[in-house]
Chains A and B, each alone.
Chain A
């Protein structure tokens, strides 16, 4: 059943909310200065006029047509869809946090600053970095911030000609985009036959015009870049910096640190690794963490602990400046801090180990049914290819994904990374039990067998959803973007 738009059941005169009656002395309104007519709005906006129950039913029904981690398994590769603890939600709703204004006097926000300071300390320990900033609101925002700092670092040194950022072909699309919007030229580095950075290609592209190499480790194929120390010294030898995309930190948290690998600046995705909910596309949080070299360039203000409590430090002459309106997505930071407190040092290590265990187990369950192009070892995620299925049966990665929807699962990531044809990328996370993984694998294998026998069936999937596959060409050619 499709749900109407709320505007379509709107009826003038219905109200879902009443304001208190204005209780100023009588006549004051008449004495008000007038806003000049030319500054006043002329045309009313068309918003729904409905009852409170209309609103409640509408959004409840919409939520019934959405699917989150709380609904079921969500092996969306590179997105780390782990369980979002209820305790974090409860604590993020404490009025002592939600009702605090960002510009209150510093003496009245010591609790908020304590959370942020302690979170920064813990994230520094977990990543092996020196310090960081919590201002970036998402992973891509963290990349933007990190690359700004890299730019400032070189400008400060008078090294003005470093204009290139190297990005592996398997990188997330945000990496090259973040580099370009910071004015860098992007140079792509090839992958070798194992799916790792091609060392010869890397060497040939490293010269004094390179500012940084951006790496995800493990990479988007779920493979650990085992040459990382060698990569790090090659990059540093030519005076460039090494950037870590933290999207896949969930594989190594507590086992190894980006700091030890030689990374100079990293961003984290608290909404992936540190269990804060994705909210249907945000708000996330993308802190940047840096080593000693880049500390002076961090966004401002910094938070410092002094004898009189926590204070902001704005006196940072080399800082890149602010990257957010206020201090970052604070209520997301609270949730991540709760997660770290709950898990502790052993717990975060266990989370990574079990994420890796789960991915390897699922891979072992699927390896006889699916082609796995870079089969040698995987960490917290792996990528299968439907190239052969497409050739033999006409079955695509998208078909498999849509079939899984009918089986009650969220599909894996499709068509990424692009160096695997008809890719499906699975990241089960540590949250799933062996029973869930077994059921998922059995379901997927059965779906595949059925599809081989009857490809037309799979082409029609999904059947159980409010709508079937949508006409995306029509959506683009005849854009209908608002009511």
Chain B
């Protein structure tokens, strides 16, 4: 069973979002990381650029798969998780601790439209 922390919100593309101060941290869910297998590379987005909701923002790769990260909420990239540069496997180890990037001046309404843990769980069941 995939773990789905209660306090986060989720997209149907299997990203999670966590609000902290004025930032929105984005990562991939347990379901996404286990589908990919051993992660060997995370492409981090450029800092300072604004990305739309549903825009392809980065890529996570395993040896035999590549998955596009679909930005779940509009915002400006202000931080990327540089630990992933040398150790992309951290996403496998703890996908909820190891975010990919953080957004500022993000769209509150996009955030509100994300799924809560229960709904995301139900969505996974339906797949």
Q: Indicate if A touches B (C-beta under 8 A).
A: yes
Q: How far is the CA of A415 from the CA of B61 in the complex (A)?
A: 18
The answer to whether A477 has its CB under 8 Å from any CB of chain B is yes
Main secondary structure on chain A at its contact with chain B? helix
Q: How far is the CB of B41 from chain A (nearest CB, A)?
A: 7
Instruction: List chain B residues, Cβ under 8 A from A477.
Output: 40-41, 88
Instruction: List chain B residues, Cβ under 8 A from A415.
Output: 64
Q: How far is the CA of A317 from the CA of B63 in the complex (A)?
A: 46
Instruction: List chain B residues, Cβ under 8 A from A473.
Output: 38, 40, 63
Q: How far is the CB of A473 from chain B (nearest CB, A)?
A: 6
Instruction: List chain A residues, Cβ under 8 A from B63.
Output: 472-473, 476
Residue of A nearest to B37 (CB): A473
Instruction: List chain B residues, Cβ under 8 A from A476.
Output: 40-41, 61, 63
State which residues 56-94 of A face B: CB under 8 Å.
Answer: none
Q: How far is the CA of A472 from the CA of B64 in the complex (A)?
A: 9
Residue of B nearest to A474 (CB): B40
Residue of A nearest to B40 (CB): A476
Q: How far is the CA of A477 from the CA of B88 in the complex (A)?
A: 9
Q: How far is the CA of A451 from the CA of B38 in the complex (A)?
A: 26
Q: How far is the CB of A174 from chain B (nearest CB, A)?
A: 16
Instruction: List chain A residues, Cβ under 8 A from B64.
Output: 415
Q: How far is the CA of A415 from the CA of B65 in the complex (A)?
A: 12
Q: How far is the CB of B117 from chain A (nearest CB, A)?
A: 30
Residue of B nearest to A471 (CB): B63
Tell me which of B38, B61, B63, B64 has the highest count of chain A C-beta atoms within 10 A of its own C-beta. B63
Q: How far is the CA of A472 from the CA of B61 in the complex (A)?
A: 13
State which residues 262-315 of A face B: CB under 8 Å.
Answer: none
State which residues 376-415 of A face B: CB under 8 Å.
Answer: 415
Chain A, residues 462-483, CB within 8 Å of chain B (1/0): the string is 0000000000110011000000
State which residues 47-93 of B face A: CB under 8 Å.
Answer: 61, 63-64, 88
State which residues 420-476 of A face B: CB under 8 Å.
Answer: 472-473, 476
Q: How far is the CA of A228 from the CA of B64 in the complex (A)?
A: 33
Q: How far is the CA of A473 from the CA of B41 in the complex (A)?
A: 10
Residue of A nearest to B89 (CB): A477
Q: How far is the CA of A50 from the CA of B53 in the complex (A)?
A: 58
Q: How far is the CA of A212 from the CA of B41 in the complex (A)?
A: 35
Q: How far is the CA of A415 from the CA of B63 in the complex (A)?
A: 14
9 A-B contact pairs sorted by A residue (CB < 8 Å): A415-B64, A472-B63, A473-B40, A473-B63, A476-B40, A476-B61, A476-B63, A477-B41, A477-B88
Beyond A415-B64, A472-B63, A476-B40, 9 extra complex contacts between A and B, CB < 8 Å: A473-B38, A473-B40, A473-B63, A476-B41, A476-B61, A476-B63, A477-B40, A477-B41, A477-B88
